[in-house]
Every structure is written in C-alpha cells, then in structure tokens.
Structure 1
C-alpha cells in the first residue's frame, strides 16, 4: 500500500514496486508500461508540475510551448503505450507540406517529396506569404508519380525530370534554369532513394558526422548548402551538423515518409494524457530526490520512499548528480520565440526554413495555421526557433533581429507583432555525435535503472523508446517476462 503524509518535512515511508524519479515524458511513459503490467509505481517530480521539457504556458488565450514540440505522426512508441487515453485524446496536427525552404527568393516545398503526397505536385503551393512576389516556385514542381514507385528504378531519369522541372526547350528557359533543375532532380532522386531505404541498411552505413557525410553523397555543393543542410539543421537542432550521419539519415527518412506534427493544444498534452492514465496518487510533484539506492529514494523534505527498484527518468545532468559516473552528453541550446500577429502572414500549415540564413531564426511556422486550438478564434500565433550560439543572445536584441528576418521570410511587416514569450533552454537537445549508440543500456544493476532521450535519440521518440526498454528490463528482473538479450546488467556505470 502507498501511504503518505500531507505535512511537509514529516518523515514517512512509501512502499511500491518501482519508484520513478522524474515526471517527464520518459518517466510517465515508463509508469504506464509498469502499471499496465500490474506493478505499483510512485513517480517523484521535483518541479511543481509534470512534463519535463514538454511544457505549455497559457497566456491571454494562447498556448505557448517552451520548446519546439514537434512530433512524428506515426511514432510507433506512441502507438505502443498501454491504455486508451492516447488513442482517443491525443490529436496530432500535421505540417503540410512538410516544409517550405526559402532560398534565393524562392519557396521550395519539400512536402511533395514525401511518399504518396501529391497535393502540391503542380503550380504554386497554396497559402504562401501573400504580400511578397514569389518567383521560381513553379520551377521546383514536377509530377510526383515518379516518386511513388517502390523502387528508384521506376522513376524518371534525372534528365527527364529536369526537363519536367524547367519546362520544354524554346520556352524562354535559360541554361542556368536547366542547371538548377538538374540539381533539383538529382536531389529528388536522392531523397526518393533515401525514403525507400530500410532503417537496417541506413544503420549499417559507415558513421561520420552529418556534415562530413553530406559531402560524400554526390550532390552539388550549392544544392547541399541551400536545401539539404538547412532542412537537416532544423530537424536535428544542430547548426554544425555534428550529429551522427546514421541518426541524420534516419531522421530525414522519417520526415520524408511521414512529415511532422504538433500535438493539439500544446506539447503539454502528451505528458498530461500519460499522467491521466495512471492510478490516482501515482505522481507526486514538488518532491526532490536527495539520494538513491537500489531499494529506496531519500528525499529532501518528504522522507524515504521504499521500493523494489528505482528508475531514473530525469535529464542527463540531474541523473548524473544522483548516479555519479553516468555519462553526460553535450547539449544543443534552443530558444523559442512566440509572437502574436494581427493577421496570418502565411496560411499554409508549413514549416518555413530559412535556407539563406539571413538572421538568427532557423525555422518558423504560423502555429495557428497548423493547430488553431493554440489561440482564441481570430488570433494568430507565430513560433520561431533559434539554434546555436545565437540562442543565448539577450532577449531584446534577439527579438529585434528575429523580427527583421521574419518580415523578410513572410513578406509582411512585423512592427505590430507582440512578443508573447521567449524561452531559452541551454540543455534542450542532447547531442548525438558520431559514433552514437542509439540504444545505450538502461540497466545499471539489478534494482537500479535509467531512461530518457539521452539514452536513445534526442526528442520525444527517443524518450518513449528508452522508457519502453527500461520498463522491459524491470519486468525481466521481476520475472514477469523473459530476459532481453540486449539488456543484460552493466559491469560499470555507462
């Protein structure tokens, strides 16, 4: 039985099968897996709220995420969570097309490169910025049926695709336009091959940094610089592209096949639904762990919680404080700006990437075009992301620089935009340089486990996957399922 006292500072003992430290996505998902298996669980969270990095503030009718809050629409880890709450309540709002790359005064839709997508196959994408002339958009579109083939061999040749992209000879198309079209055709063919390549084959490739690997892919330098690199930077939150090429390949493949989504109502929706699926009293907030052992957690003001096993589900730095010797990766800083605009600068629910890098913003989107529930009717919310060293700039100067760049990107004045919030996180995204172990062990020793995106791949998908593996390891050790070969006890702290 779980017993407690409402008086802060009073010593008491809480008995449960598993004590989980951290009520972020990983900790709550692990609690769902373990309670579904019949175990009693206590989740201890030091903060007064749950969610970890998936936090949403409410301000004057706006839902403002602390982070980018992007999710894949077909995340298997979400589908694999026990309980009906997520199936019935979690709505994902897609970016469509997946991304618009603004390069050299052109808007290049990447959404029509996704498998089975033909919505933006011909003509101008609908909903682009309306106040700025758009040139060159038509030249980047081609029929997408040549991308739908299950094998790249079934696609048009590069030269034929280039002719489709640039128009027939004799219709005013220059050699430069033909050269650009050839570059884009090669890119389309390369992305088609990547989208059709199995994850196993991608994982078997030689591992380099993403930046180094790009130079070996046989694409023109200009195409890499203006198209592929900016998109990868946005997807990985890594301006220098030091990320493992295997992780980069898998990330880009997933994006091409399924795109990205926002959880309806804000990033906090996911942890809130996870917590709602747990038995009442499972999660305790404002309880800070002071030390851990294999069968107990000592807290600063709430006594000792006894248990059969302890699962650390905090960020990497906090986990290392409680478990000295645990490896702590470097992190990529991220700053998110939320602006209220008097009218939508773009109606397309697309991720707009600045391939020209004319300012601090890496990518931006009209949040209310993707998810109208993020603001009251008639209001417009624009979210922008700043990466790297520029993310640490003073708020006032960062906002000024971002406004000038956003005015150029959206082709609309930003003078009347109101900065609603600016959130800076120096530890937003765990770095994944090569060589990267995407399945770092979650069992430290019998009775002590660790999970989080720093044990897998950065982001919600990695957090959920590592929570599932940690839960499986605990169930193995409790004799509730056969032991998994890749989760044998560690001889030393990793």
Structure 2
C-alpha cells in the first residue's frame, strides 16, 4: 500500500452538486476539507460535453432560478442564463396547444380563454391550485397530507380530461414517470418553484453549475481522477492503494458507488432516461419552448439552440428529445416519426449527433415521501444526494448542506 496523504477533517467522496455544496459549507465553517472525484471533471450527472462544436448536456436538464439553494449559492449573472418560454407546447392529434403563464405572457390569455386548452371550471381550479402553491409558505405545503400527484389534481377539482391533456404529459418530463404516481408534496413544491422562478440554461451548458460551485473551494481541495475503493477505519482507500485519513467521510456519489461504499444505506429505486440529440439544418420550431406529446411517445423535446444559440455552430440547430428508459436504433426510428408529427416537418434529413442514457437519472418518489433525511450513517460516516431529499438540483444541494451541518455538529461535540 502506498503511503497515506495528509489527513483532513472531512473527506467528501464525489464532486456532484451535493458533494460540492457540502464541501463549500464545511470550508466556510473553517474545517479542512478534501473532495475526491473518480471522473476527470466535476458534476456527476450534471456534465456538459462538446461534440463537433455542439454543447451536449448528459441528459436534458434545466436550471430553476427559484430554488432556495440556487439563490443562496450562485451569482446568476455569472452563469449567463438564457430563459425558456414561461410555459410549454402540447402536441395533440388535433393540433398544437399553447400553455403559458398569463401573468408573464398576457398576450397568451386569449389562448386560455378560447376553451381549446380547458374549460372555465378547469381553468379556475388550476388557477386556485397555482395561487395556493405560489403564495403559501413552503412549510404549509410540506405539512399537507401526502398523496399521489394524480390524487392532488382530483382533489383540486381538475378534470381527468384536462389532466390527460396537460398535466400528465408535462409531469412525465419533470419526474420521468407517466402515471402521476409521484408524491403530491414533491409536485406542489416543484410547481411552486416553476411559478416563482425562471427555467433557464446556462450559456456554457448545465455543467457550468457544478463548475461554479467547485470554483469556490479552497485551493488544492479537489482531486479529480481519484476513485475510492472503500472506507477504512481512519478514512478511505483509493483505487490506487493510497489511504486518505479523515475524521469524517461524506459519501456523495451516484447511487451505485454509494451502495458499494455504504451497503447499510437503503437507496430508492431510480428512473432511467435517454436523451437523443439530433442536428438539423434549421430550427423546426423557432422559439425557446418545451414541447410535450399528449400521446407520451416522448417525455419532451426542445430546440436547444433556440434557447442558447451557442449550443450549436452557426447555421445548425440542435434538438434534444428525452424518452423513458433505454434507447436504441429501433426506438430512435420510431422517435423520428413522432417528432415529424410534433414539429410538423420532415426528420429524415436530421443527423443523430449522439444519445445519452442516464441510468440513475432521478429517484422514484412515491408517497409518503420524506422531504429530507438525516445524512448520518455511523460515527464519522455520512451520505448525501438527491436520494436523501427530493430528486432535483435543490434536493441534492439541500442534502449536501444538511450533511455539512450534521458533520460540523458532530465534530464540535
């Protein structure tokens, strides 16, 4: 075995947003901290690659400016955010419907009042649900009885027809499930954040988010390409046989490595998603808007270069489309046909740039779903990630923040 590295107060394993948030808070509190990451860059599931001049995020992801952890940790101007339209399009057999927040886009109010999207009763029920979620303190929403999202819509007086036309295809893309079985408390909190914030993409790709977190770490605190083989009585042992001593270890990896390092931790099931990235000569939409399908042949699709022009070289358009589960050639062919209908244009000339399958994209969150869980596993052992809170950037960073608080409390005792 190689000789040990210098000891540290806390060692964080994994440089995703949960681990980076934890390390930032620990460093700010004055304890020595080191972050080790198996990959060649920070981010975990929030990575951006550059392929032939295109920016390709590892799975379609968006950035919500209303998340409390986002407001606490980031200078949004530095991320150079580009917004999506405050709403989305729904492809139906009878044409495309537009759903937008009329408080932000007043000119779309006639579309809502026309009755094409919903009747007066459904619109009133939706308005009441949205006003309550937007205006009530988060604590009130968290204390409400937890059911499924489907039950929450029924309780709000929203008709099944409206749910099928609007919410089911939209929520499928948010939670990567199309049965509306996600916790109603989680839905209400996410819906609140969408109503209060802006859905954006950083100009440099979603990977700009973890890079901004990592930039605030002390010099020399981050070690890349350092996979951890296991935990020891005094810290961790790297795959290269080097022991790194630490008073406390926080495991902030993806679910697979977390289960290997801490087999006693019970992890939830995770949902798998595949995102196809197609290249076209021109945008098939011409606006930075998410498009969903009432037939649920895909979760959602958008022209990324309409949102952030620098995602594609000049004169090219980059289209991202996500589907539940794993992909393949046959599925991509079926997807082209669905996209031709949804966009109203031929897709035979589109080139498939790449496809990204994320096996552990989002934890399954059925009711009753705990919105936060302790990160303590054993003396000196902690775990954090979206599986300890909610499946979102907010949940991951909030879990990292809780891990830092619990580690600090234990060290000081």
Q: Do structure 1's residue 121 and structure 2's residue 108 form an aligned pair?
A: yes
- Distance (Å, rounded) in 2 between the aligned partners of 1:31 and 1:463: 13
More strand by share: 2
Q: Conserved in 2, the CA contact under 8 Å of 1:73 and 1:92?
A: no
Q: Conserved in 2, the CA contact under 8 Å of 1:232 and 1:252?
A: no
**Counterparts in 2 of 1:81-160, with a 5 A limit?**
81=73, 86-87=75-76, 89-113=78-102, 116-122=103-109, 140-142=111-113
- Distance (Å, rounded) in 2 between the aligned partners of 1:377 and 1:279: 38
SS of alignment partner, residue 359 of structure 2:
strand
Q: Do structure 1's residue 409 and structure 2's residue 396 form an aligned pair?
A: no
The residue aligned with 1:247 is: 186
Cα distance change on mapping 1:418 and 1:57 into 2, 3 Å: same
Shift of 1:204: 2.2
Q: Do structure 1's residue 203 and structure 2's residue 142 form an aligned pair?
A: yes
Q: Larger C-alpha radius of gyration, 1 or 2? A: 1
Shift of 1:302: 4.1
The residue aligned with 1:492 is: none
Shift of 1:102: 2.5
User: TM-score, structure 1 length as denominator?
Assistant: 0.78
CA deviations 1:267-286 (Å, max 9, x no partner) are 11111222222233221122
Q: Do structure 1's residue 376 and structure 2's residue 313 form an aligned pair?
A: yes
**Counterparts in 2 of 1:176-191, with a 5 A limit?**
180-191=119-130
Q: Conserved in 1, the CA contact under 8 Å of 2:118 and 2:162?
A: no
Q: Conserved in 2, the CA contact under 8 Å of 1:95 and 1:261?
A: yes
User: TM-score, structure 2 length as denominator?
Assistant: 0.93
Shift of 1:440: 0.7
SS of alignment partner, residue 278 of structure 2:
strand
Which of 276, 280, 295 is the matching residue for 1:356? 295
Cα distance change on mapping 1:409 and 1:346 into 2, 3 Å: same
How large is the Cα RMSD of the aligned pairs?
2.2
- Consecutive unaligned residues in structure 2, runs of 5 or more: none
- Distance (Å, rounded) in 2 between the aligned partners of 1:95 and 1:219: 26
- Distance (Å, rounded) in 2 between the aligned partners of 1:192 and 1:110: 16
The residue aligned with 1:291 is: 230
The structure, 1 or 2, with the larger RCO (C-alpha pairs under 8 Å, 6+ apart) is 2
Q: Do structure 1's residue 24 and structure 2's residue 16 form an aligned pair?
A: yes
- Distance (Å, rounded) in 2 between the aligned partners of 1:178 and 1:473: 48
Q: Conserved in 2, the CA contact under 8 Å of 1:296 and 1:304?
A: yes
- Distance (Å, rounded) in 2 between the aligned partners of 1:457 and 1:285: 27
Q: Do structure 1's residue 441 and structure 2's residue 393 form an aligned pair?
A: no
**Counterparts in 2 of 1:307-318, with a 5 A limit?**
307-318=246-257
Shift of 1:264: 2.1
- Distance (Å, rounded) in 2 between the aligned partners of 1:446 and 1:285: 26
Q: Conserved in 2, the CA contact under 8 Å of 1:312 and 1:449?
A: yes
SS of alignment partner, residue 108 of structure 2:
coil
- Distance (Å, rounded) in 2 between the aligned partners of 1:178 and 1:279: 52
The residue aligned with 2:322 is: 385
CA deviations 1:156-212 (Å, max 9, x no partner) are xxxxxxxxx35xxxxxxxxxx798455445434443444333322322222122233
Q: Do structure 1's residue 44 and structure 2's residue 31 form an aligned pair?
A: no
